A and B are shown apart, each in its own frame.
Chain A
Amino acid sequence: MTDRLLTVNDLKTYFRTSEGVFPAVDGVSFHLDKGETVGLVGESGCGKSVTALSLLGLVPDPPGRIVGGEILFQGQDLVALPADERRKIRGNKISMIFQEPMTSLNPVYTVGMQLMEPLRFHRGLAKPEARARAIEALKQVGIPAPERRIDDYPHQLSGGMRQRVMIAMALTCQPQLLVADEPTTALDVTIQAQILELLKSIKTTLGTAILLITHDLGVVAETAQRVIVMYAGKIVEEAPVRDIFKSPFHPYTQGLLASIPRIDATVDRLSTIEGVVPNPLHYPAGCRFQPRCPRAAAQCVAQEPPLVAAGPGRRVACWLADKGVAGDE
């Protein structure tokens, strides 16, 4: 039995809109161990970011709300916690970094002031001490001359630098869990690699568990040990990272992998998944992927497939997965 840090059970986060209820996260269950990096993958609108915001208790309410399930963090159910208690965990034991480093820092305050805030509120540190720790944090994320940079305003830093500052800010209180929502999407490729390298080193030096949310399977391959694939508000597949690239079970995962261009093959047209993501207000009957699935059978339309164990550390939600149709090597 490994050290379990986070267990999410049947999490449901719904949004009420004028047209109806939008189940952004619809019965999601997964876990995270201490010091582990897990990739949460899926296309836009599949519910991966809302899952992340739910963990932090940052779902905008109204219109969103966690309507069911539990989030057990170190044995404590965060969903049941009063707002003030949840706030004390945010930025302290669970931190989050976002996709948009350019706009995620407050433009009218110095980097240092923003870095010191979590230390002053969660740890009650006095200014000089918090400042010393903030400089330390900047050094840790590889910002040159942190003693000077700490007094800079965000607009004086590049995108990559700002994302480093965001990471430093998230780490100031040494959280057990870092939720990274597309941390490299807005950055150019060389900076992406540097940020991923930084996240990896954080995992080894601080032992922080990372939930890495991305639509980029390449990012996952480089950093994560396990992968969770989401589609239309549900988990469709979960597997160790090596297995998912070698033998994906779910037709959606297979489609995702097939759409990545390969360096060793010449193709005229990139492979795509047919169709579009279904309207969340009117999900199709049965399996939500069924209208786009090349192998859909009668059962897929009639019944929704449950997420079931499929080998060591693997789960899949597909009627066809255990019939040997999926998973070609």
Chain B
Amino acid sequence: MGVYIAKRLLMSIPVLLGVIILVFLMVRMVPGDPAVVMAGEQATAEQVDAIRAELHLDKPLPVQFGLFMHDLAKGDLGRSPRTHAPVSEEIGARLGNSVVLMFTSLLLATVIGVATGVISAVKPYSLFDSLAMLVSLIGVSMPVFWLGLMFILLFSVQLGLLPAAGTGTWLHLVLPTVCLATVPLAMISRMTRSCVLEVMGQDYIRTARAKGLPERVVIAVHALKNAFIPIITVVGLQMGNLLGGAVLTENVFAWPGLGRLMVDSILARDYPVVQGTVLFIAVCFVFINILIDVLYVYLDARVRFD
């Protein structure tokens, strides 16, 4: 088991390196001089030069990369020229909010998604199934920002039940959670339905029935554990998406998370923060995937011996 995890960690090094290079180049390849943009319109040439020197933008690209890697190795993502705070602090201040929103949405999406998927698969083409799949089709194709605005319009403006934006109480969490959970919920329920349906047609399900097990045991014990392998994959990918991809939801509901930090930084041309945030989310993605791979081992003994 330890060897397996170590192997997966080693395998993630090239991926991480690739991500670092991409993020590094991405920021530097944006048209225009970042230093000029960052310094603002009223800045003098000296101020622009100061920023350029601070960001090492006056040095050749390979040297910049070397310096960037050197700082990164120390865990230093640089400083924001806008707030003058270290990027890691900026991320740290928002991370909690993002994680809370990610977990509530993921929980909602997984619990309801798996439940509806299983019920649909057990009685395929029933009224429940048709309805659930229609709703989830709408859910998958729903533009999140529009849905968020409609939620605000209905629950905050019309009914006055829930706050429209910001943080504070758990009530603030309701609308962003539901909004953010919509797409993953729909995806998970469709995925669960097709996986469980496929598993129910397997020979070992017939064996389980031939043993005289009650149908609920056949489904809960024999079908679900097999169906969970692809479902876990989808849930894991959604986890990464929710962490960094909550950009639209966080902006609609003014939720101070990583997604909003990223958008604000892009608008302010705060490149170190953009770079740091993208890198942080990418690293999270990689580690979530490793976590999922480790989970496979617990679900399916065949993985261990590969």
The residues of A that contact B209 with a CB separation of less than 8 Å are 58, 90
A118 touches B211 (CB 8 A): yes
Closest chain A residue, CB of each to CB of B208? A106
The residues of A that contact B305 with a CB separation of less than 8 Å are 155
A103 touches B210 (CB 8 A): no
A301 close to chain B: CB less than 8 A: no
The digit string for B287-302, where 1 denotes a CB below 8 A from any CB of A, is 0000000000001111
Q: Which residues of chain B from 206 to 234 have a CB within 8 Å of any chain A CB?
A: 206-214, 217, 221-222, 225-226
A257 close to chain B: CB less than 8 A: no
A89 touches B212 (CB 8 A): yes
B206 touches A117 (CB 8 A): no
The residues of B that contact A110 with a CB separation of less than 8 Å are 301
A231 close to chain B: CB less than 8 A: no
A87 to B212 Cα, complex, angstroms: 5
The residues of A that contact B211 with a CB separation of less than 8 Å are 90-91, 95, 117-118, 121, 169
Q: Which of A58, A153, A155 contacts B210 (CB under 8 A)?
A: A58
A106 touches B300 (CB 8 A): no
Q: Which of B204, B299, B300, B302 contacts A103 (CB under 8 A)?
A: B204
The residues of A that contact B221 with a CB separation of less than 8 Å are 109
Q: Which residues of chain A from 61 to 113 have a CB within 8 Å of any chain B CB?
A: 87-92, 95-96, 98, 100, 103-110
Q: Which of B203, B299, B301 contacts A104 (CB under 8 A)?
A: B203
A106 touches B204 (CB 8 A): yes
- What's the least CB distance linking B205 to chain A, in Å? 8
A121 touches B203 (CB 8 A): no
Given the contacts A87-B212, A92-B212, A108 and B207 also touching, CB distance less than 8 Å: no
Q: A87-B213, A117-B211 are in contact. List 18 more A-B contacts (CB 8 A).
A: A58-B209, A87-B212, A90-B212, A91-B210, A91-B211, A92-B212, A106-B207, A107-B226, A109-B222, A110-B301, A114-B207, A117-B213, A121-B213, A122-B212, A153-B302, A155-B301, A155-B305, A170-B210
Give me 11 A-to-B residue pairs in the complex whose CB atoms sit less than 8 angstroms apart, sorted by A's number. Answer: A58-B206, A90-B212, A98-B203, A104-B203, A106-B222, A107-B226, A108-B225, A108-B299, A117-B211, A155-B305, A169-B207
Which B residues are within 8 Å of any A CB, using their own CB? 202-204, 206-214, 217, 221-222, 225-226, 299-302, 305
Closest 8 CB pairs of A and B: A91-B212, A90-B212, A91-B211, A103-B203, A106-B204, A153-B301, A104-B203, A96-B210
